[in-house]
Amino acid sequence: MTVVTRFAPSPTGLLHLGTARVALFNWLYARHHGGKFLLRLEDTDRKRSTEEAVSAIIDGLAWLGLDWDGEIVRQSERMERHAEIARRLLKEGKAYRCYCTPEELAEMREAARERGSPVLYDGRWRDRDPSEAPVGVSSTIRIKSPLAGETVIKDRVQGTVTVANRQLDDMVLSRSDGTATYMLSAVVDDHDMRVTHVIRGDDHLNNAARQAILFQALGWTVPEFAHVPLIHGADGTKLSKRHGAVGVETYRDEGYLPEAIRNYLARLGWSRGDEELFTTEQAVEWFDLDRVGRGAARFDLDKLRSVNAHHIQQARDSRLVEAIRGPLAERRGRALKDRDLERLTAAMPELKPRAKSIPELVEGALFVVRDRPIEIDEKAAELLDADAKSLLRDLAGVLETLGDWNPSAIETAIRGYVAENGIRLGAVAQPLRASLTGRTTSPGIFDVLAILGKGESLGRIGDAGEG
């Protein structure tokens, strides 16, 4: 059997982290088993579905690297197929027309509430002849659900879930305007797309029994279900904007790497021993539904930042240079030159261990692309007093004699100067850092000198040592 999973969002908003995790689990499961991962847009709610939301979902999945197989299925383009199945069930006597008015349904709901019983349709049109239909009332089509017995769902995450059929009413398959409900359209599309595993949020668990009944009525194989717990905030409440429940494009714009988001979301509710940090290839190799927990996962922004920092450190230097060149050019007000890119590439091994996001990487790399005379911030300027400037002029003379310009040779020269003059290394390193970067923090000073090169370093030291 070829495993086929599907991600079926309603395009009514952004692709949030919780929804993205459902997509990830479906993608990982399909890729782990060498199967197919399909994308279906459940866009039959024309009032709420928007093309903007469609684009957000597609762009979000593409950025996350969750590639789908085949063409995107739009549920709105399959409405005639859904209606065909409703008519088939009607013809086979497995469904019936219901002529209840909105007022009757409201009375039914109110009576159930007064009794303190579940709000269920009472089946009043189940066995009536359509000839008794009131004039001017359009009918819905309802399934004839079993009146006795149980429906059992063997859920891959939640375990065995048993529902007494008397707790399930005759759900509507087709509305009075002829359009199919979610229950019918989802079942028909899952069958036609040959979906073998329905992996979705546990807020859909109540739908599983109803959909299983519909699959069985149609004589179709019921897919395996796996209902994944939702994500909560760190305080244990439902994930919301205050916890970080924003679209994935926000995390992209804030400088998170897609592989970091994949790593973090995979670990939310799924585990493999004590493994916290892993590649996507490892996640594909390890992932299975048996390791998905039943409890709600908790979102932790600090943990996500830590995971992102790890993946920044693991990323190729050339990729990170490409990621920051645009923001750096914008900050500098000019296009980056070849020498800027060469220096950034050389600096990246020292810059990326200090950053947890792309904006932090940009901030740390600013000194590399500054034009002379560089801007020196207030704290750094305080280090450049008259004594420091004199020291810098003296040190520049020592560095100018260096033949080899690399961190080791530079360190040897500076430590020799410090020892010869009986001063602390910090007394040299601090004003030197201020003159070279314009700040009080940076990668190691010997590395900074090597990254900038001899000419640029001596030029910046000379600028700072004037006056």
In a domain, 10, yes or no: no
Tokens in use for 181? 């409900």
Answer yes or no: do 122 and 198 share one domain. yes
* Pairwise CA distance, residues 43 & 51, whole Å: 10
Pair (92, 151) in one structural domain = yes
In tens, the pLDDT along 436-450 reads: 999 999 999 999 999
Domain final residue pick, 327, 345, 369: 369
pLDDT at residue 465, as a whole number? 83
DSSP for 209-248, please give it: HHHHHHHHHTTPPPPEEEEEPPEE-TTSSBP-GGGT--BH
For residues 331 and 438, state if they share a domain: no
Which CATH number characterizes residue 387's domain? 1.10.10.350
Residue 107 lies in a domain: yes
241 flagged as catalytic = yes
The parent domain of residue 457 ranges over 378-465
Average pLDDT over residues 99-117: 85
Mean pLDDT of the chain: 93
* Per-residue confidence (pLDDT) for residue 213, from 0 to 100: 97
Please check whether residues 82 and 224 belong to one and the same domain: yes
**For residue 153, what is the domain's CATH number?**
3.40.50.620
pLDDT tens digits, one per residue of 122-137 = 888 999 988 888 888 8
- Asked if residue 83 and residue 219 are part of one domain, the reply reads yes
Q: 458 is written with which tokens?
A: 């001596």
User: Would you say residue 457 has pLDDT above 90?
Assistant: yes
Mean pLDDT of the region 406-426: 93
Final residue before a domain boundary, out of 187, 212, 228? 228
445 Cα distance to chain centroid: 37
**Confidence at residue 379, expressed as pLDDT on a 0 to 100 scale:** 95
How do residues 165-187 score in pLDDT, each as one tens digit?
Answer: 999 999 999 999 999 999 999 99
Same domain flag for 83 and 140: yes
Candidates 94, 241, 352, 379; catalytic one = 241
Taken in order 50, 53, 59, 62, the sign of the CA dihedral is: negative
Number of domains in the chain: 3
When pLDDT is cut at 50, 70 and 90, the band that residue 117 belongs to is: confident
pLDDT tens digits along 377-398:
999 999 999 999 999 999 999 9
**Among 86-90, 232-236, 298-302, 350-354, which stretch is predicted with the lowest mean pLDDT?**
232-236
Answer yes or no: do 384 and 363 share one domain: no
pLDDT above 80 for 238: no
Decide: residue 166, CB within 10 A, 0-12 exposed, 13-18 middle, 19+ buried: middle
Say whether pLDDT at 453 is over 90.
Answer: yes
Cβ atoms 177, 138 nearer than 8 A:
yes
pLDDT at residue 1 is higher than 90: no
In a domain, 64, yes or no: no
The pTM (predicted TM-score) of the whole model is 0.92
Q: Are residues 401 and 340 in the same domain?
A: no
Q: What is the pLDDT of residue 146?
A: 95
Residues 87 and 134 both lie in one domain = yes
* Listed residues 207, 228, 249: the one ending a domain: 228
End-to-end CA distance of the chain: 79
290 inside domain: no
